[in-house]
Amino acid sequence: METAKDALKIGIMGGTFNPVHYGHLRAAEEARERLSLEKVIFIPAGNPPHKSENLAPAEDRYNMTLLAIQDCPYFSVSRIETDRQDKSYTFETLETLKKNPEYTKAELYFITGFDAVLDIINWKSPEAIAALCRIAAVSRPGYTQDKISSLPENIRRTVIPLEMPLLEISGTELRRRIIDGKSIKYLVPPSVEKYIVEKGLYV
Ligand code: NAP
């Protein structure tokens, strides 16, 4: 994708955020710093096309993400997918953002986990996604080397592997801990932990 010299660089942090945790926040901050992004917009998937197991309501995942980013001036959260009734397709989200005069000329960097990116050919309109943004794929150091070659060339050239020492936290593990009655302290921001307990999520 061509990159205009002075275009605003905006990170789009896509994820189910079920729940959001320090791994996501650290990945967004690393991406912001390393790609010199102006800001990062978190977009919790409202009705993810690909999963439903123990999925907290979209409104709760939006609220938790909003609580999680409170102390970072570079982060914001968008309701763009939370408010959409039908499936949350990434290409539609990117198209909607591009129609917003604030972002028409911006360079969008869609940040997500490398595992998710490896599956991108099964997403709706992967070519449209590749034309609308660069894809910042977050993974552990050394993880991408052989895997990236499995992506088709037109997708691969938009992917920026962002290798970083990831915090070993996953949404699946957090939900399991909650079901087992174990603590999630220091894995998610205190405000998110409080929200999960008060709302009785994931039990
Ligand atoms: P996922 O399969 O749950 O995530 C794969 C891995 O990446 C997990 O380990 C996950 O950690 C991690 N991860 C997810 N988002 C991340 C982020 N922003 N930064 C760092 N690590 C991240 O994938 P997902 O979260 O459901 O989906 C990722 C994005 O792809 C979402 O925006 C989703 O809407 C989009 N997507 C679109 C389509 C489509 O358009 N058809 C299909 C699939 C996905 P955790 O488990 O801890 O979150």
pLDDT in tens, 24-68: 999 999 999 999 999 999 999 998 777 667 999 999 999 999 999
**Residue count of the chain:** 203
What's the whole-number mean pLDDT along residues 175-201? 97
Question: Which amino acid, residue 108?
Answer: L
Percent pLDDT > 70 in the chain is 96
User: What pLDDT score was predicted for residue 3?
Assistant: 52
Q: Tell me the pTM.
A: 0.94
Q: Is the pLDDT of residue 146 over 90?
A: no
Task: Tell me the pLDDT tens digit for each residue of 104-113.
Answer: 999 999 999 9
pLDDT computed for residue 52 by the predictor: 67
The C-alpha atoms of residue 60 and residue 142 are separated, in whole angstroms, by 35
Residues with Cβ < 8 Å from 105, sequence gap 6 or more?
Answer: 4, 7, 8
User: Which residues, listed in sequence order, are joined to residue 40 by a DSSP beta bridge?
Assistant: 11, 75
CA angle (32 as vertex; 26, 35 as ends), nearest 5: 130
Coil, helix or strand at residue 139:
strand
Strand partners, 113: 138
If you measure from the C-alpha of residue 203 to the centroid of ligand 1, how many angstroms do you get, rounded to a whole number?
22
CA distances from 165 to 23, 25, 138 (A): 10, 13, 10
Q: Is the CB of 15 under 6 A from ligand 1?
A: yes
- Taking the C-alpha atoms of residue 192 and residue 188, their distance in angstroms, rounded to an integer, is 6
Q: Quick one: pLDDT at residue 29?
A: 96
Q: What is the C-alpha to C-alpha distance for residues 97 and 116, in angstroms, rounded to an integer?
A: 21
Q: Which residues contact 137 (CB under 8 A, 6 or more apart)?
A: 112, 113, 114, 117, 144, 159, 160, 161, 162
| Residue 139 in contact with ligand 1 by CB distance below 6 A | no
Q: Please tell me the residue having the least CA distance from ligand 1 atom 32.
A: 14
What span, in angstroms and rounded, lies between the C-alpha atoms of 79 and 58? 10
Give 147 or 32, the one with higher predicted confidence.
32
